[in-house]
Amino acid sequence: MNPHPVEAGDALARLREFEAVLDVRSPGEFALDHLPGAANWWVLDDAERARVGTLYKQQGAFEAKRLGAALVARNIALHLERSGQSWPRRQRVLVYCWRGGNRSGAMAHVLAQIGFPVSLVQGGYKALRAALVERLAGLAEAQRLVVVCGPTGSGKSRLLLALQARGAQVLDLERLAAHRGSVLGAMADEAQPSQKAFETRIWERMRDFDPLRPVFVESESRRIGRLQVPPALIERMRAAECLRLQAEPEVRVQVLLGDYADMRADPEELQRRLRTLHELRGAQAVARWQRMAAAGEFAELTRELLAQHYDPSYAASMQRNYQQFAQAASMQVAHAEAFEELAARVQRHFDPADAAARVQPA
C-alpha cells in the first residue's frame, strides 16, 4: 500500500530509515517543535490556515474545503518544484501533520502517485509527541547517569565539553536548553526553544546512548531558564551517582569571566539581569553590583556574587536534592584550562574500559 500507514512509535524507531521527513504543518506550528531532521513542507502557511479557518466559521465546510484544496495544491506544487526535483525515484518519505488528517493525506497522496515510497504517520504530530514523551521516560530510566556537581564556576559545563570531545556520552542540558542555568544565564545569541522542542532535543541526544556506559550530566535544578527538565529525567538524576568538582575561588572567577564573556561585553544587559536579584539580595547589594558592572569591575563583581549569592545555599541544596552527593568522588580543578586533563581522569574513574580503548600503542 502506498502511502503506507505507520504508527507513531514505529516512525520514531525507524526515523533514520527515511531519506526525507516532511512536516506539512504551518511554519508557526513547525517552529514550536518538529521531528529531528524534518523539513517544513507546509501545505498551508500560517495566514492561509487562519484564512481557511475563518471561512469555515463564516460560510461552512464546503467553501473552506474548496479554498483549502486550491491553496494546498498550489503549495505542494511549489515544494516539489523547489525541493523535490532532485529526489531519486526510491526516496523513502515520512509525512505527518497535526493529527494525520487532510494536510498530510494530501501531501502523501501526491508523492505516492509520483511513485515515491511514502509512510504516513497515523495520528500525526500529536501521536508522535505522546510516543516521544513515553520513550524519553524509558531512556532516562535505562541510563547509568553520573551527575557532575560543583559550585558555580567550578567548570561543570567545560568538563562536559571536554568529555564529549573524548567520546564520552554527555547529556548537556544547558546547551540543549540554550541557557546556562543561572539568573544571568540567558544566551545572547540564541533564544530558548519551546518546552516540547527541548524534550525532543533531549530524546534525540539520548536515543543512541549505550546503557552499559556512563552518561555524564550536570547537576541542575528542575528549571533551566523557563524550561523544565522532564520529570522522569530529573528524578533519575537526583538518585544517580555523583562527581564533585572543587576549585579555588580565583580559579572559579577566571572560569566565569571566560564563560560569561558576552555579559562583560554588554554591561547594560548585565545590569538589567542583576535587577532580578532585588527580592533575594536587596536593593542596596544589587545597586552596588550594578555600579561594579558599569565600571567594568567584573572580577570583583564575580567574587561578590559567588560569596553573597551563589555559595551560601549551594551545599544545603545539593545535599537536599542529590541523594548520593555526600558519597561523591571528588576531583580538583587545578586551573581554568585544566579540563582536557581532568576529562581523562574522569573517564578513567567512571568508564575505564572506554578510557583504556583510547590509549594508543607506542
Please state, in angstroms and rounded to a whole number, the distance separating the CA atoms of residues 241 and 282.
37
Burial of 359 (0-12, 13-18, 19+ CB in 10 A): exposed
Please state, in angstroms and rounded to a whole number, the distance separating the CA atoms of residues 202 and 140.
10
Calculate the CA 329 to chain-centre distance. Answer: 28
* Segment (H or E) for 108: helix 102-114
For residue 145, give every residue at least 6 positions away whose Cβ sits within 8 Å of its Cβ, in sequence order, or none.
171, 214, 215, 217, 236, 237, 240, 241
Which of 197, 177, 179 shows the shortest CA–CA distance to 188? 179
Distances (CA, A) of 21 to 112, 242, 303: 14, 39, 50
How many separate helices (H) and strands (E) can be counted in the chain?
19, 12
CB atoms within 10 A of CB 200: 22
Per the residue annotation, which of 94, 97, 128, 237 is the catalytic one?
97
> Does 242 participate in catalysis according to the annotation?
no
Which residues are known catalytic residues? 97
